[in-house]
Amino acid sequence: MQARLGVVVIATALLQTLLGQSASISKECLPQFEDYPVPTPLVARKTRAAYLSSYELIDIPRAQYSARIRAAAKGGPDFAGHYTIVQATCGSDCHNVWIVDVTGGEIYSTPFVGANRCVGGFDVPLVEYRLNSSLLVVTGSLEIPEANHTFKDGPCGKYYYRWDHDALTLVRSLVQTKDTTSFPPGARSGTKPPILGCPTADAKTAGR
């Protein structure tokens, strides 16, 4: 019991350090929603964010699976102009995320399998987004896809993604880890997004 408590204390301290880093870095050095503006031709979603409970997606045909995600997206867009973020629970403090184009019904997956809230991060939204911005921010641990439809849990961090037509691309990350070899999901092939410091000019202007 004491060992488990020690792990929780350490994990909480690491996340608080990470969030402290995020707060202490100059605003100009981290992606902001206003850095990635998009037109908003459609009426914004008036209802609450789109969520599905885990039992709604268990043991159903694939066609019905997609239909339920689209149904959850009804009510108007809330992300990047004409998209709706649909989330489904995948465990305790874990969410799967889909991006639905409300104009055509296309469903897009994220580069991570799921996102898990880290210990000590309950006062920070797991996923943040805006209707008038193509920026999506995840604060937690990402489930990183591996071979044979498996995944591994990534480190706790703050991950900044830009939506570009049909995919999320990682533009920044703040990761509390000593592992410098892992590439967060969504990073461009052959590149590693910088940790801390200011983003490059290309990273801030891409996708406009």
pLDDT at 17 over 70: no
Decide the pairing of beta strands 83-91 and 50-52: parallel
User: Residue 111 has what pLDDT?
Assistant: 94
On average, the pLDDT of the chain sits at: 77
**pLDDT (tens digit, 9 = 90+) per residue, 122-133?**
678 899 999 999
- Alpha carbon dihedral 181, 187, 191, 195, in 10-degree steps, equals -60
**Where does the pLDDT of residue 71 fall: very low under 50, low under 70, confident under 90, or very high at 90 and above?**
very high
Q: What are the structural domain ranges in the chain?
A: 2-205
pLDDT: which is higher, 20 or 68: 68
Average pLDDT over residues 19-42: 75
pLDDT at 105 over 90: yes
User: Residue 35 has what pLDDT?
Assistant: 95
pLDDT at 78 over 90: yes
